[in-house]
Amino acid sequence: MSARDTTPNPLRPRALFLALPLVGLLVACDPRVGLHGHRVDVDALAEVVPGRTDRTQVELLLGSPSSKGGFGSESWYYVSSRVEHKAFLKPNLVERKVVFVSFDDRGLVTAIGSLDKADGKHITYVDRETPTAGQRITLLQQLIGNVGRFNKPAE
């Protein structure tokens, strides 16, 4: 029988100590994927036939829509998106899909279509602020200015 070497290896704790932060960094960089909205089943969508399928059948097949068209438009929209979140960075929209179903006055489907991320339009926001009337005063000025301004109780 041979005797086992019981002397500790000084490199093993250091290697473990250095490997743990590296594993932590790799795990932290893995994106979190978020699914939002109502994903339409392709097989159920194939059963919707223009001119023959009505609103109640569409709702039974596809479910309740994410949005309904306004201003007299008889359209239903099923919106879904996939977003990736990486650590502290801005979320990245990977995929967006909008399936729309249009109806006529009788409630029958007239058109079916889909839009994706490429069909979207980028909107630029206006940075202007609307000026407000009045003065800009501090909280202390408000408190001191209100001293003595309260109505006396009616007798």
Boundaries of every domain in the chain = 30-127
For residue 39 the two structure tokens come to 């994903």
Residue 74 confidence (pLDDT): 86
**DSSP assignment string, 63-125:** -S-SEE--TT--EEEEEEEEEEE-TTSPPEEEEEEEEEEEE-TTSBEEEEEEEEGGG----PP
Locus of tokens 């704790």:
13
For residue 131 the two structure tokens come to 């000026």
Average pLDDT across the chain, whole number: 81
Residue 103 confidence (pLDDT): 92
Query: What is the pTM assigned to this prediction?
Result: 0.59
